Amino acid sequence: GNSVTQMEGPVTLSEEAFLTINCTYTATGYPSLFWYVQYPGEGLQLLLKATKADDKGSNKGFEATYRKETTSFHLEKGSVQVSDSAVYFCALRGYGGSQGNLIFGKGTKLSVKP
């Protein structure tokens, strides 16, 4: 079945550091891939998406590239800010038994220190 594996945190960085959160997936065919962010006490916000191989999703300085050959969708940001502190979820929607349900990774908590 479809699944998502992302690096477990917590990840602690200093302000202006480079961020990478790894995400790999298992799925039939070509799923759509997403990163969601959840700030403390809030719901999930769609951060970025990619719908086909080699697509690059980007938003608010974050980027992720859909790599079919490595089944990966790693999240990157060149210079993190304190306001980026949150939990980040990698997710996919694919074909097969999940009927296109959203499959989440376990989440990675990011803390950015000033």
Q: Which residues bind other proteins (CB under 8 A)?
A: 31-32, 34, 36, 41-46, 49, 51, 89, 93-94, 99-102, 104-107, 109
46 or 53: CB nearest other proteins = 46
Angstrom distances, CA of residue 66 to CA of 38, 71, 72, 104 = 22, 8, 6, 16
Give the number of other Cβ atoms within 10 Å of residue 18's Cβ: 10
**Residue 6 beta carbon to other proteins: minimum distance, rounded to whole angstroms:** 10
15 or 52: CB nearest other proteins = 52
CA–CA gap between residue 69 and residue 85 (Å, rounded): 31
**Residue 18 beta carbon to other proteins: minimum distance, rounded to whole angstroms:** 25
15 or 106: CB nearest other proteins = 106
Residues in the chain: 114
**Residue 79 beta carbon to other proteins: minimum distance, rounded to whole angstroms:** 26
70 or 99: CB nearest other proteins = 99
**Residue 85 beta carbon to other proteins: minimum distance, rounded to whole angstroms:** 15
C-alpha 99: how far from its chain's center?
Answer: 21
CA proximity to 19, closest of 106, 84, 114: 84
